A and B are shown apart, each in its own frame.
Chain A
Amino acid sequence: MTADLRTYLAHVELPNPVLTASGCGGTGRELAQFSDVHRLGAFVTRSITMAPRAGRPTPRMAETPSGLLNAVGLQGPGVEAFLERELPWLAERGARTVVSIGGGTVTEYTALARRLAGVEGITAVEINLSCPNVEDRGRVFAREGAAAAEVVASVRAATPYEVPVIAKLSPDVADVVAVARACVDGGADALAMINNPIGMSIDVDTMRPSLAAGTGGLSGPAVRPLAVRCVWQVHAALPGVPIIGMGGVTTGRDALELVLAGACAVAVGTALFHDPYACPRVLRELEELLQERGFDRLADAVGLAHRPAGAQPRTRTDLEESSL
């Protein structure tokens, strides 16, 4: 017996819940050397920007205990080159592609959404809200509900109704539930969390910051408890909204933890740097863990940790149905 691992992002069905995290799967070609991209629940692209971007100077990466600091700066070829060279390749391979978009202004996000509208082979659009807002002294959109909702609303309006819009949230906020609620009110069909919290490391030999950019996003198992907390809080407040959980998932056990907290899909990020086979492995491990616990559907496990203490472990109520 195999468990039913199908999951839904709004109305879009994915055959399994394991995705790549934005910015961690390259163009897809790099991972395809190791395993098929169409076997992923979905392939999430790096954040695509309007114009080509050279990114940040090196060093861009510093290893920290169970974590990784990075400041890549959204290096990419720009939306036109992406649509010309990268998306068709993914579509050809049968990958379900979630296109992540990043911009410095609401106008840029909207322009990107318009450019992507109607393009074949886009399963969903994910909005990377952790970009500095150049119109607001470089503060990131995700840090405040109104700024995030403005981007979400304009992208939602420019995107065809059959393509779900996912808002990716940052944990670096006072109240993640408030930002999540604002995004959903703005029209987000699903939420993704967490983006990298900002960290810093200093090289004690050179006595300078380890990264050229000074600060960088922290990822890896070091941030997993943060991800579990955010998913838990948002799922508790908005049980009907699909959540893609991410942050330090390296094994099926980690994926199940996020699922129990309320995520209906899980993205694997930094683990791909360590193990290019991480996605199929996490999926296999997750399936085994679900079976061991007697689940025949992934959906039955979503948010299950929220049940009151002492309740039956598998109360198959229609409540879970809503978070499909």
Chain B
Amino acid sequence: MAGSPVQVTGTVLTTRRVDAYHALTVVAPGIADRFRPGHFVTVAVGGRNSSMLTRRAFTIHDVKPDYGGTVELVFGVRGAGTAWLADLRARDTLDLVGPLGRPFPLPRDPCTCVLVGDEHGAAPLFALADALQQRGCRIDFVLGAPSADRVFGALRARRMGETTTLTTEDGSLGMRGTVTDVLPGVIADARADAVYACGPMVTLRGVTAVAAEFGIPVQVAVEESMACGIGVCMTCVVPVIGDDGVTRMVRACTEGPVFRGERVRFDDVGTIPFDALGAPGGRHA
């Protein structure tokens, strides 16, 4: 982790709509300084005396040096919390904690990387692409969503990537299907050395399976619902195999959100695998 997280009261600089999503730029110098691609922030929603106690976690889409440092968050309205965020206007204040989590590890030497994003899960990929390109890596994008208005960052991907492949489930943009359908072709054409993926669990599971077939490393950023984001509430756990081969229920917020894909037991997400450390009736109990 790059330094420890800070809590700041940031001022909203701009709000904008990006297709089906909202983007919020907030002045938060302490967070922008420490940011590395893959980090996330949590925000308190509902203002003072809010009845919403859990913080909402968002990956950082972008940081810019303006006003000492700004961070941009991208989100879709899913409930009362995100609806409140979507109603924020410039000059409103927002309570942020960050940067949090384990960022994407970067390759030591230049290589070819495929960046896979599903819906607004693609948000953190562009800062990652920047960092990879600075190391001389070739980038290929695969972005997908159920429909055209929910494909995030297609323009920027076309600008940055060697190739950009878009998929929609209804065929309204790019290829009809999901990102995992086109991924084998992209990996083969680019002779990719590594895959990075963000999105819902089912996408990450598919992407990991494809990468495993090609025998290349895959880093996935998981989306698991969190209450605190700092590692105290123990609600965002996923079954992950450790270096010692033992499966543990680890916190997506502190041990993740970026994991090596093959270490995450996607089939067992939402359960306690019988062989996990401390599982009921397990051999370690």
Contact = CB atoms under 8 A, between A and B. Distances in A.
Interface of A: 23-26, 30-31, 33-34, 46, 51-61, 63, 65-68, 70, 72, 75-78, 212, 220-221, 270-277
B249 interface: yes
Contacts of B97: 276
A52 B269 CA distance: 19
Interface stretch (B107-115, B172-180, B274-282): B274-282
A60 B53 contact: no
B272 interface: yes
A33 B238 CA distance: 23
Contacts of B269: 58
Given A63-B54, A65-B51, A276-B97, A30 B232 contact: yes
A273 to B, nearest CB: 4
Nearest to B269: A58
A30 B249 contact: no
A277 B81 CA distance: 21
Interface of B: 4-5, 7, 44, 51-55, 95, 97, 224-225, 227-228, 230-238, 248-249, 254, 269-272, 276-280, 282, 284-285
A276 B227 CA distance: 12
B272 A30 contact: no
A52 B5 contact: no
Given A33-B230, A75-B249, A54 B235 contact: no
Given A30-B254, A54-B277, A60 B237 contact: yes
Nearest to B80: A63
A52 B246 CA distance: 13
B276 A54 contact: yes
Contacts of B55: 273-274
Given A25-B232, A61-B233, A78 B278 contact: yes
Given A52-B277, A52-B285, A54-B276, A26 B231 contact: yes
Contact of B284 (A31, A52, A68): A52
Given A63-B54, A65-B51, A57 B271 contact: yes
B278 A70 contact: no
Contacts of B224: 58
Contacts of A221: 51, 53
A133 B284 CA distance: 21
30 contacts: A30-B230, A34-B230, A46-B234, A51-B278, A51-B284, A52-B278, A54-B277, A54-B279, A55-B249, A56-B272, A58-B224, A58-B225, A58-B235, A58-B237, A58-B270, A60-B234, A60-B235, A60-B237, A61-B54, A61-B225, A63-B53, A67-B53, A72-B233, A75-B234, A221-B51, A270-B53, A272-B228, A272-B232, A274-B228, A276-B97
Q: 10 nearest interchain CB pairs?
A: A52-B278, A61-B235, A26-B232, A273-B228, A54-B278, A30-B231, A53-B278, A60-B235, A33-B4, A66-B51
B232 A72 contact: no
Interface of B, secondary structure class, is loop
Contact of B52 (A54, A63, A275): A63
B53 A273 contact: yes
Contacts of B233: 24, 61, 70, 72, 273
B53 A274 contact: yes
Given A61-B233, A212-B270, A275 B44 contact: yes
Given A34-B7, A51-B284, A274-B55, A70 B271 contact: no
Given A51-B285, A53-B278, A70-B233, A276 B7 contact: yes
B232 A277 contact: no
Given A55-B278, A273-B55, 7 more contacts: A34-B230, A51-B285, A58-B238, A75-B237, A220-B53, A275-B44, A275-B95
Contact of A31 (B232, B235, B278): B232
Given A30-B254, A58-B237, A277 B7 contact: yes
B34 to A, nearest CB: 12
A159 B276 CA distance: 32
A68 B95 CA distance: 20
A284 to B, nearest CB: 15
Contacts of A68: 53-54, 227
Given A66-B51, A68-B54, A57 B272 contact: yes
A274 B233 CA distance: 10
Contacts of A275: 7, 44, 95
Contacts of B5: 33-34
Contacts of A212: 270
Given A54-B249, A68-B53, A273 B282 contact: no
Contacts of B237: 55, 58, 60, 75
Of listed B233, B236, B248, B280, residue having the most chain A CB within 10 A: B233
Contacts of B248: 54
A23 B234 CA distance: 9
Contacts of A34: 5, 7, 230
Nearest to B275: A54
